[in-house]
Amino acid sequence: MRRAGFTLIEAVIALALIGLVVTKLTLVMEEARRAHQEESVALALQDQAMILLDKIAYAIVGASRQRLDPEQLAPLSAAEIRFQISLGVEDGEPVWSDPEIIGLAEGSGQLYWGQNVGAAGERVVVWANTVSQMLEDELLNGEDDNGNDLADELGLAFVVDDKSVVIRLTLENVREGGERLQVTRETTVTCRN
């Protein structure tokens, strides 16, 4: 005689197995989604860091060494740099741009470029909002925590040495769960004028 349907035990086992499979699938999908998001955020942060560093470098490459301020030698660094770039020559004399500045607004994580700041014709443009308060692995304790010969450097740090400017930048983003993701990039620009 043929049985119709399942026994209770069979049904329970089947449901348990289905539950297990669904749970596993959910976990896999969640893992995939999380990995996707993490990788996307990391990639975006790296991309942004590279673009920002290039942007800063191209902005100050036309500056004159004599028109860079401040002059900071390691272990000192500055979170802003003031400069003027050459616009050409008139009557045999170089013509310089209005004073420009690139800096980090402390507390807000904003990296900004400005021209004529505090004077007539002021222009300020925010280039990024994701700059870390301190450079990666650095603490505000008067010491060089991250082994880059700088002490207490902020998330954007300029070191001017002769005609070169070393730029260090750390961007950060907060992952789900509050975990911070940081990307640090460094480049050196030689002022051409």
Mark 36-69 as b/e (b = at least 16 C-beta within 10 Å).
eeeeebeeebeebbeebbeebeebbeebbbebbe
Q: Which is nearer to another protein, 75 or 99 (CB)?
A: 99
d(CA 110, CA 104): 6
Tell me how far, at minimum, the Cβ of 59 lies from another protein, in Å: 9
Tell me how far, at minimum, the Cβ of 107 lies from another protein, in Å: 29
Interface contacts to another protein, rule CB under 8 A: 2, 18, 21-22, 25, 28-29, 32-33, 36, 39-40, 43-44, 46-47, 50-51, 54, 58, 61-62, 85-89, 91-92, 94-95, 192-193
d(CA 104, CA 126): 10
Tell me how far, at minimum, the Cβ of 173 lies from another protein, in Å: 15
Q: Which is nearer to another protein, 58 or 139 (CB)?
A: 58
Largest CA distance in the chain: 112
Give the three-state DSSP class for 127.
Answer: strand
Tell me how far, at minimum, the Cβ of 142 lies from another protein, in Å: 37
Q: Which is nearer to another protein, 42 or 74 (CB)?
A: 42
Tell me how far, at minimum, the Cβ of 100 lies from another protein, in Å: 13
Tell me how far, at minimum, the Cβ of 39 lies from another protein, in Å: 6
d(CA 177, CA 34): 11
d(CA 15, CA 44): 42
Q: Which is nearer to another protein, 55 or 74 (CB)?
A: 55
Q: Which is nearer to another protein, 46 or 110 (CB)?
A: 46
Q: Which is nearer to another protein, 151 or 189 (CB)?
A: 189
Mark 138-150 as b/e (b = at least 16 C-beta within 10 Å).
beeeeeebbebeb
